[in-house]
Homo-oligomer: A and B are copies of this chain.
Amino acid sequence: MRSKQDTLYVGSLAKGLRLLRAFDEEHTELSLAELAQRTGLDKSATQRLANTLHVEGMLDKDPDTRRFRPSHAWLQMAYAYYWSDPLVGQAMPKLIDLSQDLGETVNLTELSGDHIVYVSRLPCKRTYFAATIVGRRLPALSTSAGRAMLATFPAAERAAAVEGWSLRRFTPTTTLDRDEIGKSVEQAVRDGYSISTGQMILNEIGVASPIIGPGGRAYAAVQCSVSAHTWTRDRVIQEIVPKLQDTANAISPSFQTQRGGGFSGA
List residues of A whose CB falls within 8 A of some B CB.
Answer: 4-5, 7-10, 12-17, 20, 23-25, 28-29, 47-49, 51-58, 60-65, 69-72, 74-85, 88-89, 92-93, 96-97, 100, 110, 112, 117-120, 122-126, 129, 132-137, 260, 262-266
Contacts and interface: CB of A to CB of B under 8 A. Distances in A.
A96 B80 contact: no
A72 to B, nearest CB: 5
Nearest to A113: B72
25 contacts: A5-B51, A8-B47, A8-B48, A10-B49, A10-B52, A12-B12, A25-B80, A55-B266, A57-B265, A60-B264, A61-B263, A61-B264, A62-B263, A63-B264, A69-B84, A71-B265, A74-B81, A75-B119, A76-B117, A79-B134, A82-B133, A89-B129, A93-B126, A96-B123, A122-B122
Chain copies in the assembled complex: 2
A123 B126 contact: no
A134 B28 contact: no
A80 B70 contact: yes
